[in-house]
Amino acid sequence: MLLWVLISAPVLAVLPGEMLKDPVLEARARVISQELRCVVCQNQSIDESDAPLAGDLRIVVREQLTLGRSDAEIMDYVVARYGNFVRLRPPVEPATWVLWLGPFVLLGGGGLALLSWQRRRSVPAEVAPLSEAELAEMAALSPEPPLER
């Protein structure tokens, strides 16, 4: 039962009233909707999300399609209102370098920290030799003769 719900959840997000009668335009709308992020859910496309704002964006996409706009024009229209954040795959440009390179930088920094920590753990600490006073104190406490230097 849970598997059925998980599989059918994306299908249930697009309401029958939102769908276009033209199957070609509806297929284009679904493709565009799968590339746009729900700004409420943030980890789902507007095609998968049942948030009211996602529904509004799905309607905007379909309205733009019925006006004869191309897929690129529709994406530009939505991005102009919400910024590149609304794209599930933002373009690689200076403003989005942090999004694209951030995980690699964090992974590399974590790896260097782990290596540094491992190196510090494996280096034996230098032990200073005992002074004459310490050797004498040890001899007084121990019934056995002290070790030779």
126 domain residue, yes or no: no
Instruction: Give residue 91's pLDDT.
Output: 81
How far is Cα 84 from Cα 100, in angstroms, rounded to an integer? 13
- Residues whose CB is less than 8 angstroms from the CB of residue 70 and which lie 6 or more positions away in sequence, other chains included: none
Asked if 61 and 111 sit in the same domain, the reply is no
How far is Cα 75 from Cα 66, in angstroms, rounded to an integer? 15
Asked if 111 and 55 sit in the same domain, the reply is no
Asked if 41 and 83 sit in the same domain, the reply is yes
Instruction: List the CATH number of the domain containing 32.
Output: 1.10.8.640
Asked if 83 and 31 sit in the same domain, the reply is yes
How far is Cα 5 from Cα 1, in angstroms, rounded to an integer? 6
Instruction: Give residue 98's pLDDT.
Output: 82
How far is Cα 15 from Cα 54, in angstroms, rounded to an integer? 11
Amino acid at 16: P
Instruction: Give residue 10's pLDDT.
Output: 47
Asked if 59 and 105 sit in the same domain, the reply is no
| Strand, coil or helix: 132 | helix
Is pTM beyond 0.75? Reply is no
Instruction: Give residue 4's pLDDT.
Output: 53
> How many Cα atoms within 13 Å fall on the side-chain side of residue 20?
19
Residue 52: domain span:
10-88
Which ranges of the chain have pLDDT less than 70? Answer: 1-13, 15-17, 123-125, 144-149
